[in-house]
Chain A
Amino acid sequence: MKDNSYQAVMDRKNEIMKQAVGIDYERFATGKVSFDYEKMMSEVGYDLDKIREIQAETAVGNTPLIELRNITKLARKLAPAGKGARIFLKDEAANPSGSFKARRASVSVYHAQKNGYTGAVAATSGNYGAAVASQSVMRNLDCIIVQEVFDSRGIGQPEILEKGRKCEAYGAEVLQLSVGPELFYTFLRVLEDTGYFNASLYTPFGIAGVETLGYEISGQMKEREGRNPDAVVVTHAGGGNLTGTARGLQKAGAAETKVIAASVDLSGLHMASDHDFNRKSFTTGHTGFGIPFATWPDRADVPRNAARALRYMERYLTVKQGEVFYLTEALARLEGMERGPAGNTSLAAAFVLAQEMDEDQIIVVQETEYTGAGKHPSAQLNFARKNGIEIRTGNPEEEVAGESIIIPAEPALIKARDLDLDRIKLSYLRNIVEKTCIKELEPVDLEFLAAEVNKTTAEVEGIMEQEFNIKMVNK
């Protein structure tokens, strides 16, 4: 009989994964730490035209790009003369499952079907579960979603409960777990038990599916305004949204468009803590995923994560929970669009960014998500209040994640705070050194690391030597 203890299952991880994604990641290895990312993306994934075809079959993509005239007007009232860029919004809630995650799921589920898998499994508490479930329905596959839902009191976040309901509405088997990273253990056991496809968020299929989003933004903007946007703001968590969008923009030739990440600031909260679990009002799009995934992408549920955000991120802004709720309200009351709060993280950042940029410039907020019971500011704020979080009107600068949510007393109090990208890149390199125990660098590794942190090889060589005393060999 199979040993199903935690350790035994984790020890079988690579074998289970190989079976469940059908990718032999080892063949992309090049040096001690490096692998050929572009080769992995091109050999395993599908090209952009094929993906557009796959997505068209299941009604994914081609979402509207909407100018937010009143929010732009508000930003201009607060900005110095001549400032206040135009803000556009890509209404990804128009996808079949209500978020951009349908793009990510579409290619995985297509691939699973084509390769004879009879079902798909995904480990996610988010919109991705609903996306895999919905796409599985369209392609006649079974679907299992493994979710982290409740704390030891049995209490679940309303937002996650709603996502679980939506998965069940599409006929998915939903396995709901209490807090803890061992969700991955349950996930592996399900893969082993069913032989279903691992519709991981982080395979080349998932990331290539998002490339169409960046590509569409460029195409729609060129058609409408005759040029590419100056900036695209992306809500950042695991890195797939940013990586896919940026790659799509590059494929559309939008080299001049800046890709800016935005996350909700949840610093100080431990993501695997039973106590902290219900003290956050955002279950995605926050720094608790954003920073760990940027600084160590391969923590994902596949050996080589195809989402590698630091390669593409040109700036990283954080906003407070209260600021995102404020913009969610603004979107409803000023633009007539009621959308889910988590997807509006990038909108909050864009509202501030617009005030820095010239009024003839263009910012695109690249997603929205559906809203509904549970997944709504009133549901989430009432829940937070019930869990002892102080909710008040004031200066969001004073907000402390897990203790308070401060709704800005006036829109001028909304800020976007720059994270030091060089420090984040240094953390990435430190993780490489600590986790791989390398003592010296080969040229192929140096080139890889330079691409990973979007710096020159000379810069990375200097950092590796000064900070970690690791020298180049075989130059």
Chain B
Amino acid sequence: MSELIKTGSWVEIHQVILPAGERAPQVPEDTQKVPLELRTRGFLVKDGKVGEEVEIKTFTDRTLKGILKDPTPSYEHKFGCPVPELLQVGEELRKMVADRGGNK
């Protein structure tokens, strides 16, 4: 049972562009075995549910069809935790440049 997503919602859809086995001939073996997939986002044209085929209007006003994948797409990339190996670098460089002076 999935919730009805309202017309006009900003959603992500999914399409298979080329199924596995129909990929370009020059593609390496591991890539041949998987489909070429597309994801894009836009405003839902009619109420729909996750997993159903829906239409969206994109920012360029094109209408695209696809399976409704994500009703609330978000940007999840971040900085993450500071990397210990780099924290060390900064400390060492500051000492090298500040303490010993230049040759000029």
Residues in chain A within 8 A of chain B (CB atoms): 6, 70, 73-74, 76-77, 81, 84, 119, 142-144, 149-150, 152, 158, 161-162, 165, 168, 171-182, 185-186, 193-194, 270, 272-275, 325-326, 329-330, 332-334, 359, 373-374, 376-379, 381-383, 391-393, 407-408, 410-411
Q: In terms of DSSP, what is the predominant structure of the interface of chain B?
A: loop
Which of A178, A382, A408: most chain B Cβ within 10 A?
Answer: A178
Complex: A446 Cα to B61 Cα, angstroms:
50
Residue ID in chain A nearest B100 by CB atoms: A77
A407 near B30 with CB under 8 A, answer no
A168 near B27 with CB under 8 A, answer no
B59 near A172 with CB under 8 A, answer yes
Q: In terms of DSSP, what is the predominant structure of the interface of chain A?
A: mixed
26 A-B pairs within 8 Å (CB atoms) are namely A77-B96, A81-B103, A150-B39, A173-B59, A176-B39, A178-B35, A179-B31, A180-B31, A182-B17, A182-B18, A272-B28, A273-B30, A274-B28, A274-B31, A333-B93, A334-B93, A334-B97, A374-B77, A378-B80, A378-B81, A378-B82, A379-B78, A381-B83, A381-B86, A382-B80, A411-B96
B88 near A393 with CB under 8 A, answer yes
Chain B residues whose C-beta falls within 8 Å of the C-beta of A359 in the assembled complex:
104
- Selected contact of B36 from candidates A77, A165, A177, A332, CB within 8 Å: A177
Name B1-49 residues within 8 Å CB distance of A.
17-18, 22-24, 26-28, 30-31, 33-42
A329 near B80 with CB under 8 A, answer no
Chain A residues whose C-beta falls within 8 Å of the C-beta of B104 in the assembled complex:
73, 76, 359
A171 near B85 with CB under 8 A, answer no
Name B58-104 residues within 8 Å CB distance of A.
58-62, 75-83, 85-86, 88-90, 92-94, 96-97, 100, 102-104
Chain A residues whose C-beta falls within 8 Å of the C-beta of B41 in the assembled complex:
168, 174
Chain A residues whose C-beta falls within 8 Å of the C-beta of B58 in the assembled complex:
173
The tally of residues in B whose CB lies under 8 Å from a CB in A reads 48
- Selected contact of A186 from candidates B38, B61, B100, CB within 8 Å: B38
Chain A residues whose C-beta falls within 8 Å of the C-beta of B24 in the assembled complex:
6, 180-182, 185
Complex: A144 Cα to B18 Cα, angstroms:
20
Complex: A329 Cα to B17 Cα, angstroms:
40
Nearest-neighbour CB distance to chain A for B72, whole angstroms, equals: 15
A382 near B36 with CB under 8 A, answer no
Chain A residues whose C-beta falls within 8 Å of the C-beta of B97 in the assembled complex:
70, 73-74, 77, 334
Chain A residues whose C-beta falls within 8 Å of the C-beta of B61 in the assembled complex:
142
A377 near B83 with CB under 8 A, answer yes
Q: Using known A-B contacts A391-B85, A393-B85, determine if residue A182 contacts B75 with beta carbons closer than 8 Å.
A: no
A182 near B36 with CB under 8 A, answer yes
Nearest-neighbour CB distance to chain A for B45, whole angstroms, equals: 15
Complex: A275 Cα to B33 Cα, angstroms:
11
Complex: A174 Cα to B59 Cα, angstroms:
9
- Selected contact of A180 from candidates B27, B59, B82, B103, CB within 8 Å: B27
Chain B residues whose C-beta falls within 8 Å of the C-beta of A70 in the assembled complex:
97
Q: Using known A-B contacts A273-B31, A326-B89, determine if residue A379 contacts B38 with beta carbons closer than 8 Å.
A: no
Nearest-neighbour CB distance to chain A for B36, whole angstroms, equals: 5
Nearest-neighbour CB distance to chain A for B68, whole angstroms, equals: 15
Q: A74-B97, A161-B77, A193-B62 are in contact. List 13 more A-B contacts (CB 8 A).
A: A70-B97, A152-B34, A158-B78, A173-B58, A179-B31, A180-B27, A182-B18, A182-B27, A186-B38, A270-B28, A274-B34, A329-B89, A411-B96
Chain B residues whose C-beta falls within 8 Å of the C-beta of A407 in the assembled complex:
85-86, 88-89
Nearest-neighbour CB distance to chain B for A269, whole angstroms, equals: 11
Which of B22, B39, B76: most chain A Cβ within 10 A?
Answer: B39
> What 4 A-B pairs are tightest by C-beta distance, nearest first?
A374-B77, A382-B80, A333-B90, A152-B34
Residue ID in chain B nearest A333 by CB atoms: B90
Chain B residues whose C-beta falls within 8 Å of the C-beta of A273 in the assembled complex:
28, 30-31
